[in-house]
Structures are given as structure tokens and as C-alpha cells.
Amino acid sequence: MTPHINAQTGDFAETVLMPGDPLRAKYIAETYLENVREVTNVRNVLGFTGEYKGKPLSVMAHGMGMPSISIYAHELINFYGVKQLIRVGSCGGVDEELKLRDLIVATSASTNSAMIRDRFAGYDYAAAPDFELLKACSEAAKELDLSPRFGNILSGDLFYGSNPALLPAMQKMGVLAVEMEAAALFAIAAEFRVKALCVLTVSDHLITAEETSSEERQTSFNQMMELALETAYATTPDMADA
């Protein structure tokens, strides 16, 4: 066990889906997994392990912000042998063509946080997902007849009170959306040589001011969940081959 996870060795599958909200983790586990069991609940940050179409899969919440996801990702990788982490979360749209509930798959994550520079000797690390996961996600989207946007996002430190110059800068550089975790996840995955991906649903829009409710964010983003699950399935070995 770790200070933040009370699961036992072997309780987690090698692939973990990571929503921010513990209740979204519970929803995914109860809706999509078979033979599911709760494996961790420290601070009510819930984690579950089961099977998806016969393959082992776990889902665990990561909380809000880069410090939070950094703790859980580090412990999952280094203490529980997790090899693939797929964030499934909400984001604020920046691109004017995006609409509520549109899907985004991050091909890179810019950030205004100093966390990545701290990991990279003070330099700017290009935080990006694993290519094989990205490729599998693109193929899964075609199979599901989904059309996510692939592109750069921004992982921000501040939910309130961001620099007013940030929004026009993001628009100028073609940033699709804002969230608060992916850059840290990608950097940790790179450091420890594991795979990471980030699939998002537009829950609100910074330009139009449209937004979804907290309940909708918890239980209605099924296309994102199914895309992540199919990506995980495609990249997880069969039990007999593991």
C-alpha cells in the first residue's frame, strides 16, 4: 500500500482509465466492467478492477489538477506496475468550432505550470501522448463512427483567475481546449517509460459560455468512455498472453 492507495499488490490491471471524479470512476466500473471489485478508497478516491470484453482493466480517479494526478500516476506506475494510463476527462473548449460534448484527443499538452520544467532541468518539455495509444484511439474512433478532434490542448494550473492574455494566445496558436492534468500525466509517463493518453469531452466553452451540469459530466459522457475503453481493449494483451 502507498500513502494514497490502499490496494494490494496485483489489484490493478496494467491499463488504468483515469477520470478526475471518483463518481465517474464508479460509473465507468459499474456500467462497463464485468467481475468488478473496488480496490482502493483512500480519501474517497475510488479505484476498481474488472474485465472489459474479457481483458483485465482498472479505473481509478485522479482528482483535480496536476499535483493530484502526479501523485496517483506515480504510485500506480512505481508501486502497482501499471503500464498504460488513459485520462478520460472534461475540458473547456477554446476552438470556436467546438460544441458541447465534442470529443478531443490530445496530441500534445502545452502548460502554464512550472511542474514540467521542474522535471526537465528548467527547460520546456514537449508533453505528448504515446503514439501507439494515439494510433489505437484513432482506429477505435473509426470503428465506433466517432469523429474526435485531434490536437494541442493546454493543461492549466488555475481554474479561476487565469492571465487574460492566455485565451487570445491559445486562439492564435490553435489550442483546442483547456484542462488541468494531461501535461503532468504525459511527463510522468515519459519519465518512467510507460504509455499515456488523454481523451476529453467538451463540458463548457470559454467563448460561448455554454456549459454542462456536474451530473452530466459525471454520467453522460459515454462516447468518451467507450472510445477510451476500446482503445484500452485494443492495446491490452489477452489474459493467456499476459
* Residues with catalytic function: 204
Residue with cell 492534468: 181
Residue with cell 512505481: 78
Could you tell me whether strands 34-40 and 177-179 are parallel, antiparallel, or unpaired per DSSP bridges? unpaired
Buried b (16+ CB within 10 A) or exposed e, 67-94: ebbbbbbbbbbeebebbbbbbbbbbbbb
Q: Which grid coordinates are listed for 72?
A: 496517483
Return the closest-CA partner of residue 82 out of 117, 56, 104. 56
Q: Which grid coordinates are listed for 233?
A: 481493449
Question: Which DSSP string corresponds to 15-55?
Answer: EEEE-SSHHHHHHHHHHH-EEEEEEE-GGG--EEEEEETTE
**Residue 87, H or E segment:** strand 84-93
Question: Which DSSP string corresponds to 187-203?
Answer: HHHHHTT-EEEEEEEEE
Burial grade of 10 (CB within 10 A; 0-12, 13-18, 19 or more)? exposed
Residue 205 DSSP SS3: strand
